[in-house]
Amino acid sequence: MNKILCKKVGVILIIMSILGLMGCGNDKYTAERIEKGLTEKYGGTFEVLALGNRYGTMTNDYVQANVKAVDSDIVFSAKMSPKGEILVDNYISKTVLSQLEKMLNSNLESEGITAKSMMFGFSKTKTGEVELGISLSDYISKYRPDFFSGYLVIKESPNNTGAALTNAFQKTFNEIQNIELRANVWVIPEESYDEVVTGFSRLPDVSNSWFEDKETLSSFKFSVETDSVSPDENELNKLLQGGVRFDLF
């Protein structure tokens, strides 16, 4: 009798966990479990910004979250099981990519351009497990990504010139050991920039469709590689002043 009762209690607890992950439980409790799991895994303090999709069957269940590392403001995604186990996250890769983002943002600022970037690394071969705390330079030397690509949000300004954008990207390209650098660029009206960047900064990932309901002046793709900069400075001057849309990556 006791064995049967214990089994029933166990089943009920599992069902309650699944229901909690599917949105029937307390979101605050779920967020706290994710934050605790990440602290146990990496140390430091984490803040769940948003709970995403909850999927579940009796054998495969998780809840997905957008999470911020409080000390660094790095935003990444994580998945947690009903037992509170962190199944997968991209925190380490984001710590590497955030170094590239800061570098690019700083180089743009030096050229008089106010911008916020979100970058990703791409490689044809599996990199294996990346160690926490690795520098961007060491990461590139060790894993040799094929290219970096992402999104760049630029604030409308008369300082936005083709020469300034090219110089910033060229400097970044040189600093990342001549790895190809690509970006989908979105120019945002001055009065809307802060609001757009606030939302942009709370996301671990984004797509071109995210910008569809945002007020934008122009969008275009820009890339720098060893023997090529595209578009050229004259074309960039036109694109940066708005009113045009070009194909994106």
Band (13; pLDDT cuts 50, 70, 90): very low
Q: How many residues does the chain have?
A: 249
Measured at the alpha carbon of residue 51, what is the angle toward residues 46 and 54, in degrees to the nearest 5?
Answer: 130
pLDDT for position 55 = 53
pLDDT for position 58 = 52
Express each pLDDT in 105-124 by its tens digit.
999 999 999 999 999 999 88
pLDDT for position 12 = 45
Band (11; pLDDT cuts 50, 70, 90): very low
Please check whether the two domains, 2-89 and 92-240, share a CATH topology: no
* Mean pLDDT in residue range 230-237: 94
* Residue among 121, 27, 8 nearest 66 (CA): 27
CATH of the structural domain 92-240, one choice from 3.10.310.80, 2.70.40.10, 2.60.120.620, 3.30.450.20: 3.10.310.80
User: What is the average pLDDT score of the chain?
Assistant: 89
pLDDT for position 136 = 98
Kindly tell me if the per-residue pLDDT of 75 is higher than 60. Answer: yes
Domain boundaries, the chain: 2-89, 92-240
Express each pLDDT in 158-176 by its tens digit.
999 999 999 999 999 999 9
Contacts of 45 (CB under 8 A, 6+ apart): 35, 39, 69, 70, 71
pLDDT for position 129 = 86
pLDDT for position 8 = 44
pLDDT for position 197 = 98
Least confident of 15-24, 74-83, 142-151: 15-24
Tokens at 55, concatenated: 């999927």
Express each pLDDT in 37-46 by its tens digit.
999 999 999 9
Give me the residue label for tokens 């660029």. Answer: 185
> H/E element holding 51?
strand 46-56
What does CATH list as the number for 2-89?
Answer: 3.10.450
pLDDT for position 242 = 83
Tokens at 21, concatenated: 């992950």
pLDDT for position 138 = 97
Beta bridge partners of 51: 65
Express each pLDDT in 80-95 by its tens digit.
998 899 999 999 999 9
Band (24; pLDDT cuts 50, 70, 90): very low
